[in-house]
Structure 1
Amino acid sequence: MTLLAEARAPAEARTKPSRRKPRLAPWAFIGPAIGLFTVFFAYPLVASLVQSFQTDERGETVWAGLANYRRLLGDPLMPTALGNTAIILAIQVPLMLVLALLLAQILNQSWLRMRTGYRIAYFLPAVTTLVAYAIVFRVLLRADSGVLNQLLGLVGLPGVDWLNDPVWAKVALIASITWKWTGYNMVILLAGLQAIPREQYEAAAVDGAGPVTTYVKVVVPQLRPVILFCLITSTIGTLQLFDEPYLLTGGGPDNATLTPIIYLYQVGFQQLDFGYASAIAWVVVLLIGALSLLQFKALGRRG
């Protein structure tokens, strides 16, 4: 027994280090990612939540409880910002998704030539820098010498003050967002269409289904997860809308294009009221979570 124990001892000594290394190796690889996540995401998230219950008094940060959230209930600008966002969300997101689905369906046809060129052309706006495309739209929509008003003049129509009229400013903002992000959603929907087996179209044709019936009964049900993804991401992007209205209109005219994130920026970085800005941010987070959950419940169920 003693000789057997002595023979096993070196073997166990050799195997112990090799057993420990696989356990430490994963942590060595994911450690930097966890550190970056903690420093740049988790800590700011928790800090902003704590800060939403604080306020500044005479240069000192004091606990305010729910005072910032009660202040939101009586703030006239917050309903304005949410109302503008609701209008954009109700018009722009469905319009963009319908256009993206229509373009994806056309570009998925085998008879279409130069499909790759069309896909690149429609996707290019999504990778265009925000500042560049905002400058282009400001030139196009300028009231006095804008290209669009010049085209309207050629057909005998009066010019429109696109960026200084409350109604037309919303129209210009919706058009610019739709132009930029339709191609992005089109590529995602096109990938979903290409994942549908060709045999299912042939089976529907054998059963006597027409194009509309095939699209409703075969294509749409299988595209449901992809459509849901595009809908949720587009909704989140709309609720976080900042760059386009800030660069095109600055939130005006008369707060017609003011969004919650622009208002958050004004409160936090212009008025330096970070506690109230944090409360606005968390209200937006709760709205995003609630709308995403509703959309998932409505479209995530299987038929």
Structure 2
Amino acid sequence: MPGVLPDATARGAVQNARLPGASRPSRRKINHRYLLFLAPALVLFAVFQAYPIVRSLILSFQSREGGELAWVGFRQYERLIGDPNFWLALGNTLIILVIQVPLMLLIALVVASALRSSYVKLKTGFRLIYFLPAVTALLAYAIVFRALLNGDSGVANQIIGMFGVEPINWLGDPFWARVSLISAVTWRWMGYNMVIMLAGMSSIDPSVREAATMDGANAGQTFRYITVPLLKPVILFCVVTSTIGTLQMFDEPYILTQGGPAGATLTIVLYLYRTAFKSLDFGYASAIAWVLVIIVMIIALIQMRLLRDKDDE
């Protein structure tokens, strides 16, 4: 047919044709435009994230001697091995981690499953109530728990006193101080994880549960053999993020117990803070920080290895 190019090659030639003097669009200029938009975020990241990370790593190999920083190699890390306060703080943190994270996630999983039940009314209100602690101001949250756990006139002791139980020194006894800390952290972050699990449950195809019900599975069996396995990626996410958060715990022990009594609630980040900003030993504090980073990475990798699906191996 006259006027029509016979093949794709000819059509491509016409499309690639350029008028005299016309220039090809500069890919390099387009990339520069993208960088202009990214520049503010890149500058903020470099100044407030990348530089402090690199600087702390360098600082962990240095020590202040005679008013000046001197290179000491791995001496700061060797100092950690013989530091009883470091091992006390690490042990306290791991004890809280082993108890608090499974307890919090189990409660979050049960509550999320209950809120999907048809027997529960006002679901939106309950979701809001459970999530509110996660966005509560830290100061208000600490004041509330100090009032609840006051050894003399606290609400908690008044409640157990109604049942004839002797008052408990919640924040002054090593055992109960840990219990109080675990309870406070669980109360604050349970709703956050519940919302994540609730979103994961909403993405499960209802026909899967219906098929299990038609096969004779009750609610408990459906939850155990259908909901939990399909929710495993979400549970893994909650486990890893909660573990990292607990290993970095600082606010609660700092405000509620100051690491006491007798160091029972001294966490590794609280010890890092004391070393850096009270003892002004920034090199040793940087070494503690990098050891914590390594511990977090190891525990997260172990959790991901244990909880990931066998089909992914």
One-letter amino acid of the structure 1 residue matched with residue 290 of structure 2 = W
Q: Helix, strand or coil: the match of 2:216?
A: coil
Q: What residue in structure 2 maps to residue 3 of structure 1?
A: none
Q: Which runs of 5+ in 1 are unaligned?
A: 1-6
| Distance in structure 1 (CA, Å) of the matches to 2:125 and 2:103 | 24
Of 260, 271, 274, which aligns to 1:252? 260
Residue 141 of structure 2 corresponds to residue 130 of structure 1: no
- 1:44-95 superposed Cα distances (whole Å, 9 cap, x missing partner): 0000000000001111100010000000000001111011111111111111
| Distance in structure 2 (CA, Å) of the matches to 1:206 and 1:45 | 56
Of 10, 20, 43, which aligns to 1:9? 20
One-letter amino acid of the structure 1 residue matched with residue 109 of structure 2 = L
Superposition pairs for residues 15-164 of structure 1, below 5 Å?
Answer: 15-16=24-25, 19-164=27-172
Q: What residue in structure 1 maps to residue 297 of structure 2?
A: 289
Of 167, 180, 194, which aligns to 1:186? 194
Q: What residue in structure 2 maps to residue 165 of structure 1?
A: 173
| Distance in structure 2 (CA, Å) of the matches to 1:127 and 1:297 | 32
Cα offset for 1:205? 2.0
| Distance in structure 2 (CA, Å) of the matches to 1:217 and 1:147 | 41
Cα offset for 1:10? 1.7
TM-score (norm. length: structure 1) = 0.94
One-letter amino acid of the structure 2 residue matched with residue 9 of structure 1 = P
Q: Helix, strand or coil: the match of 1:159?
A: coil
- 1:188-230 superposed Cα distances (whole Å, 9 cap, x missing partner): 0000011101111112223333333322222112101100011
| Distance in structure 2 (CA, Å) of the matches to 1:165 and 1:215 | 39
Task: Rate the CA distance shift 1:45–1:104 in 2: closer, same or farther, 3 A.
Answer: same
Q: Which runs of 5+ in 2 are unaligned?
A: 1-17
Cα offset for 1:182? 0.5
| Distance in structure 1 (CA, Å) of the matches to 2:246 and 2:58 | 26
Which one is further off, 21-30 or 108-117? 21-30
Of 198, 210, 215, which aligns to 1:207? 215
- 1:220-279 superposed Cα distances (whole Å, 9 cap, x missing partner): 121011000110011001100000000000000000000111100111000000000000
TM-score (norm. length: structure 2) = 0.91
Percent identical among aligned pairs is 54
| Distance in structure 2 (CA, Å) of the matches to 1:170 and 1:25 | 54
Cα offset for 1:16? 3.3
Q: Helix, strand or coil: the match of 1:11?
A: coil
Cα offset for 1:20? 4.5
| Distance in structure 2 (CA, Å) of the matches to 1:44 and 1:117 | 42
Q: Helix, strand or coil: the match of 1:16?
A: coil
Q: What residue in structure 1 maps to residue 5 of structure 2?
A: none
| Distance in structure 1 (CA, Å) of the matches to 2:283 and 2:32 | 41
Q: Helix, strand or coil: the match of 1:9?
A: coil
Q: Helix, strand or coil: the match of 1:62?
A: strand
Cα offset for 1:21? 4.1
One-letter amino acid of the structure 1 residue matched with residue 212 of structure 2 = A
| Distance in structure 2 (CA, Å) of the matches to 1:9 and 1:263 | 72
